[in-house]
Chain A
Amino acid sequence: MDAVALAVLEARLSAIVAEMGEALLRTAYSQILNSSRDFSIAVTDAEARLVAQADHIPVHVGAMPFAARAVLDAFGPAMQPGDIFLLNDPWHGGSHLPDLTLVLPVFAEGRALFLCVVRAHQSDIGGATHGGYNPGATEIWQEGLRIPPIRLGEDGTIRPDLLAMLALNTRIGRDFTGDLMAMLGAARIGAQRLAALAEKHGAGAVMAGVAQVLDLSEAHARRILAAWPDGTWSGEAVLDDDGHGHQDVTIRATCTKAGDTLTVDLSASDDQVPGFVNSSRPNMHSAVCMAFAYLLDPEVAKNDGAFRALKVIAREGSVVWAREGAAVTLCTSHCSNEIVEAIIRAMQHCVPDRAMGGWGRRFRIAITGEDARRSGRRFVWHLFHARPGAGGHALGDGWNTAGEWHSAGGLKFGSVEMAEARFPLHFRRHEFLAGSAGRGTHRGGVGAELHLMIESAGPAFGNTAGDGARHGSAGICGGEDSPPHRYELVRPDGTRRVLRTKETGIRLEPGDMLHVRSAGGGGWGPPDRRAPVLIALDQVEGLA
């Protein structure tokens, strides 16, 4: 293909994954998808190489090919046009159980060309607690329903008996079914567009073009790497705890930049722990890809080619690569964020102008109960509001309330009005939190303060799942850490209790309030070099 045709092909592939994402967003049933966008879309070729990926959730960037690979391993030659595949198990192509992945093969001229991969975080995936995150789990069977690659349907139609079985194993079967149909709709749209592309240009020409696109991305990434100084640096990041008595679980990264390659070695990280902060291997690999993508120029296409210059080394049995059977549900947040943090701490010595202060840690609460306005209908609601701040960087302060490293501004908290209309929740206050950012030449973005009243019919129950109540967001290049998160439960009689980051079965009565104070981002550069005008501006704006 000539240069114009190639540029059109690359853009067309990006447009297809973006359109698939838009369809999923607009049709999904659960709040976590339709309001907070916790999903990702990718297209791979028939060898499971990442061809295109939409700008959704960065922690999925390097994980999607594992799902495609698992489907090919399980079904390979038996794969037929019209097949619909599904999986979620972290040892069979998944990252963690709540992330359900639907895979649709695209055939042309008698052979499989592409796989459309749609990954969406489910509001509930069964298991011992509502909402997908079980801080009490010490093995994966307590975390939810495990699904290896299965053929969910043939001839473009889902098998109703299988769907009923899956839905029955989740707490909100109606949402589960609605979301799965939305995932299928998105995958079908992608498959139709890709088939049209092959029809127009011929399968051979399209796949030759794809190979060229991947090679160009590889060259792009290597050109950037080649300009950085060579050397070996180390960095580490520390988790609060695993919820089962293991504090300060540590991730250690050794990064070696040589010529146009980067090697990241996580072998020195702590051993795996009982609690669910362990990472599955696909998620660990993806977290390293994510950190790598953050350090490169943003224009580098996120595909198989771009990651060829990256080598990942890790040790099975460590917290970043747990053995089969371990609890891992929190891993897409933690320890993903700490993997990134350890790598950035190492690389701040190599490319300080590309390093950024820590983006906030994730601290979620999932609430289940009943809404008097919709009697008999149970809800599960996930907290995405009061997002933490982004890290400061060489070019300026971090974005306020832009979220965590694993999503980098891709998770939306959604409309307060919509949340109040659909859930028995009352947002008394939701504003920036002064003084929450890590100081620096460029400070982190601020976090937020949320006062949330529970108005369920009868008691509701909450689980927390997160980290960062002991350790704030990391300061970098001389910048300071932010203060940590502080979540409190305030009863109508005024009694208060600080919530831990990993709790189950928190009883919430109507009238109870959650007071959330989220951390800002980490600072970049020494605070004493901050421009006086910026200090004054923060005072005027009430953010200092």
Chain B
Amino acid sequence: MSWVIGVDVGGTFTDVVGIAPDGREWLAKAPSTPGDQSEGVLHGLANLAVAAGLTLGELLGATARIVHGTTVATNALLERRGARTAMLTTEGHRDVIAMREGLKPARYDLRLPAPIPLIPRALRLPVRERLRPDGRVETPLDAGSLAAAIRTLREAEVDSVAICFLHSWRDDRHEKLAAEAVRAFLPHAFVTCSAEVLPEIKEFERFSTAAVNAYVGPVVARYLTRLEARLREAGFGGPVFVILSHGGVAPISEAVRLAAATALSGPAGGVAAAVELARRGLGTELVTFDMGGTSTDIALVQEGAAALGRGREVGGERIALESLDIVTLGAGGGSLAHKGAGGTLQVGPRSAGAVPGPAAYGAGGTEPAVTDANLVLGYLDPGRFLGGARKLDRDAAREAVARLGAQFGIDAEQAALGIHALVNARMADGVRVATVRRGVDPRGSVLLAFGGAAGLHATEVARDLGMARVAVPLLAAGLSAWGMLRTELRAQVTRSVLGTEAMPEDHAIAALFAGLEAEARARLSGWVEGDIATSRGAEMRYGEQVFEIAVPLDGVEPTRDGLRAAFAARHRALFTYDLPGEEVVLVGARAAARAALPAGAVASLPVDTAAPLPPRRILLADGWVEAPVHDFSGLPDGAEVAGPAIAESATTTVLLRPGDVARMDGRGWLEIAVA
């Protein structure tokens, strides 16, 4: 038996969850290190080792596997700090990613600013070559034009190159040849071929995804390589897996190759955790509310499952890979309050981050953060923040809040109440975007609050939306990292089906799926030992349609008739009708291999039997009250706590207002009935 460890790097803190050989779960935190996230990861692991009474070397030596969620790609896209990227593309077609097929979002906003492409026009370089849709080479790859383009790449000192040729979905030989040449002349460049990222027809989706991959690839590669080296140095010999946007995990080599698929890696762990808690009986309809220091992620779990989509945009860029549907707000516990241009109190979007942090850190921060306001209001214990690892300076927080209040002619307490209420309203708006704007009534769902800062705000957010139930997991502050240990490994192999016939012969269909399944299985068995399950599916459409539908084929005979019948049934279910007698086309086939990551035993958290905590004076809208403080990791199953009260664990604090009643659920969470 050995340890397994999940690592979630947030904007402010890096959370590390370890499952020990005896099944106990441990949580440790360290400040994130934005310059090089791997430093914070190592600090977090060191803290975990200390908590478990081991040296870092002993811990890592006994660790079988590390699963990691990273925001490196996301940040590079949002802050436009990716690699200096160029594109080689078919001559005469260099504006594909900028034209966006003529579509503009926000139909009635004619003054919406035009987007700036990730790769400027001057670095989208034409290469003479051309394939036809049937794979025929009309114009062979022209060595002269390729050499000229590569010269420009060298002069421009690019770090990354996307190679995007028309019809490479059918035959990628020109992309491969060009990639070879680029690698020969720019050995250090990161090279992305569009057909390797997304081997599908429709050039905008393919080129845009490839451009994103090229833009974030070097940044992700640099980071993960450095992380792996540091872990090896510290004594870790096992595999590192990265959680991808679709919620599955893959090894580092795959996360680098398909860097665009890590764009939602950060919040994916939280969604995986929510799905696991739904499975454990929390409820099938959940709204995840993951409030960290710098940002807040909100997602829906419906009927126990998280929604997946393929049209995801991050930072305005299309990534046509499968991904979870997550709404991200740029505000959290570290968001700074200030007087806005309109003369009103504002919170965010700037954040104190880990350095200098809120004024209460005493590390040079002078502007009040949400955390400072919460401290002034008595909601946080200055001696127990992060389990006592970070002492907070209440006077410094008070000074910062008072300075802001003075600009409005109000005292520190009133200003703190205002900041707290304002951030609650923003959070509620975020939940509205994820639910109400999608036509989902949140009132039937449980608000699952996690991340370090959510507990103080969740009940007010729920009240604002009319949601009656809030759940705060024991492991609130590390839930995303915990969720990463509950995901499955997944390798998916897809193939465009070529040929002039709408549908191959029966024997060819059987051979196609058997081959795909073997390939998926082989790829996965290189990553993990253990049981592997496979599933099959196809992309099919009627002859004149251009959009395929995904047809699950598990249990379906791999024959023409079997596929046609499965397609007709799926078409009817989705669109209310089918068209008997019409030509059915098999466009793509896929097989997925899945393996569960062996997880530790069911949560049995370290029970902290600390002495009862002294009550605290907290300021609510009606005035100061004395609130009892409970250590909620020590509450027995079924214990109830009525508000006003504070429930604290080592890494999170839950505020119960008058009328709120919290009940400890032995399955691992505090459930709150909101007044």
Contact = CB atoms under 8 A, between A and B. Distances in A.
Interface of A: 4, 7-8, 11-12, 14-16, 23, 25-31, 34-35, 55-56, 58, 174-175, 178, 181-182, 184-186, 188-189, 192, 293-294, 296, 298, 300, 302, 354, 356, 359, 384, 387, 390-391, 393-403, 408-418, 420-422, 426-432, 445, 448, 451, 540-543
B102 A16 contact: no
Contact of A14 (B167, B439, B544, B577): B439
Given A11-B438, A26-B547, A401-B99, A415 B109 contact: no
Contact of B121 (A178, A294, A409, A542): A542
Interface of B: 92-96, 98-99, 101-114, 120-122, 132-133, 166-167, 169, 201-204, 432, 436-439, 441, 443, 465-466, 542, 544-547, 549, 571, 574-577, 579, 582
Nearest to A61: B108
A411 B166 contact: no
From A7, A356, A543, residue with most partner B Cβ within 10 Å: A7
Contacts of A387: 99, 102
B201 A4 contact: no
Contacts of B109: 298
B575 A23 contact: yes
Contacts of A31: 546
Contact of A412 (B101, B465, B575): B101
From B95, B120, B438, B574, residue with most partner A Cβ within 10 Å: B95
Given A29-B544, A400-B99, 13 more contacts: A4-B466, A7-B432, A27-B575, A181-B577, A185-B577, A300-B108, A393-B111, A400-B95, A408-B104, A420-B167, A426-B132, A541-B121, A543-B121
Closest 9 CB pairs of A and B: A409-B104, A15-B439, A429-B92, A298-B109, A29-B544, A55-B107, A421-B133, A12-B439, A26-B547
Nearest to B465: A4
A306 B432 CA distance: 23
A403 B133 contact: no
B99 A393 contact: no
Contacts of B111: 354, 356, 393-396
Contacts of B122: 540-542
B135 to A, nearest CB: 11
Contact of B102 (A12, A402, A542): A402
A415 B201 contact: yes
Contacts of A26: 545, 547, 549, 575
Contacts of A411: 102
A81 to B, nearest CB: 16
A517 B24 CA distance: 69
Contact of B98 (A182, A185, A432): A432
B132 A420 contact: yes
Mostly, the A contact residues are mixed
A31 B101 CA distance: 14
Mostly, the B contact residues are loop
A184 B94 CA distance: 39
A540 B107 CA distance: 30
Contacts of A188: 576-577
Nearest to B546: A34
Given A394-B111, A432-B98, A541-B120, A418 B546 contact: yes
A384 B113 CA distance: 23
A189 B107 contact: no
A128 B166 CA distance: 37
Contacts of B436: 4, 7-8, 11
Contacts of A409: 102-105, 107
Given A411-B102, A543-B121, A418 B201 contact: yes
Given A35-B546, A448-B99, A428 B108 contact: no
Given A11-B438, A403-B102, A418-B546, A429 B113 contact: no
From B105, B112, B203, B432, residue with most partner A Cβ within 10 Å: B112
A56 to B, nearest CB: 8
23 contacts: A12-B439, A23-B574, A29-B542, A29-B545, A175-B544, A178-B542, A182-B575, A185-B576, A296-B108, A298-B109, A354-B111, A391-B110, A395-B111, A400-B98, A401-B95, A403-B102, A410-B107, A415-B204, A416-B96, A417-B202, A417-B203, A448-B95, A542-B122
Contacts of A11: 436-439
A539 to B, nearest CB: 10
A104 to B, nearest CB: 11
Nearest to A54: B107
Contacts of A408: 104, 107-108, 110
B95 A431 contact: yes
B577 A30 contact: no
Contacts of A298: 106, 108-109, 112
B114 A398 contact: yes
A354 B107 CA distance: 15
A446 B110 CA distance: 16
Contacts of B167: 417, 420
B456 to A, nearest CB: 23
A73 B540 CA distance: 42
Nearest to B547: A26
Contacts of B99: 387, 400-401, 413, 432, 448
A55 B94 contact: no
A178 B543 CA distance: 10
A391 B101 CA distance: 18
A374 B107 CA distance: 37
Contact of B108 (A7, A8, A293, A400): A293
A265 B579 CA distance: 48
B114 A399 contact: yes
Contacts of A384: 102
Contacts of A55: 106-108
A180 to B, nearest CB: 11
Contacts of B438: 11, 15
Contacts of B114: 396-400, 445
Contacts of A415: 101, 201-204
Nearest to A542: B121
A429 B544 contact: no
A34 B104 contact: no
B29 to A, nearest CB: 36
Contacts of B545: 26-29, 34, 178
Contacts of A8: 436, 439, 441
Contacts of A413: 99, 101-102
A390 B102 CA distance: 10
A16 B110 CA distance: 24
Given A420-B132, A431-B92, A402 B106 contact: no
A178 B583 CA distance: 12
Contacts of B108: 55, 58, 293-294, 296, 298, 300, 302, 408
A541 B111 CA distance: 22
B114 to A, nearest CB: 5
A543 B124 CA distance: 13
Contacts of A412: 101-103
Contact of A429 (B93, B120, B439): B93
A257 B438 CA distance: 36
A181 B104 contact: no
Nearest to B202: A415
Given A7-B436, A432-B95, A178 B579 contact: yes
Contacts of A401: 95, 99, 102
Contacts of B437: 11
B577 A421 contact: no
Contacts of B202: 415, 417-418
Given A27-B575, A401-B99, A417 B544 contact: no
B583 to A, nearest CB: 10
A354 B109 CA distance: 10
A431 B94 contact: yes
A294 B93 contact: no
A417 B101 CA distance: 12
A422 B166 CA distance: 15
A413 B100 CA distance: 9
